[in-house]
Amino acid sequence: MESAEYLGAWSVYLVAGVLFSIISWKFMKKYFWRELSYLLESFLLAIIFTPWYVMPEEEILAPALMVFMLDLITIDATTSIRALIPLVMAILMGLLVTVVLSVMYRVRRRRQLSGIVVDDRDEHPGQV
């Protein structure tokens, strides 16, 4: 594959991945809880956009999931694990970032809500 074809293939793949991510995000945001949507979207982004080397001695990259599946089908299970390792690491990093951001969002939201709540007894001391 020549470099122009290689860059063209990656460009088409990246545009399709971005469009699919946007559509899935709109769907998940509408039908799932916020934290679950973030978690599923981070898994999706890790699976779609994690690249890995097609052959260990070459510099040609492909999506790690495709490299894993094709190595599993054509070569053997032990060889395919080389592409699975960065994919699992990307998924775990997405999980870690999602959990940290969700906890930060919850803490910030709780602080904002505790500052907004006004006790009605302060405004009307004679009423119960």
Give SS3 for 92.
Answer: helix
Measured over the CA atoms of residue 32, residue 35, residue 39 and residue 41, the dihedral's sign is positive
Query: What's the pLDDT score for residue 100?
Result: 92
User: pLDDT tens digits for the chain (128 residues)?
Assistant: 678 888 999 999 999 999 999 999 999 989 988 888 889 999 999 999 999 988 878 888 889 999 999 988 998 888 888 889 999 999 999 999 999 988 988 898 888 888 775 555 555 555 55
Read off the pLDDT of residues 36-56 as tens digits, 9 standing for 90 and up. Answer: 888 999 999 999 999 998 887
Cα–Cα distance, 111 to 122 (Å, whole number): 21
Query: What's the pLDDT score for residue 92?
Result: 95
Segments making up each domain of the chain, as ranges: 3-116
Prediction pTM value: 0.75
Query: What's the pLDDT score for residue 90?
Result: 94
Query: What's the pLDDT score for residue 95?
Result: 94
Give SS3 for 128.
Answer: coil
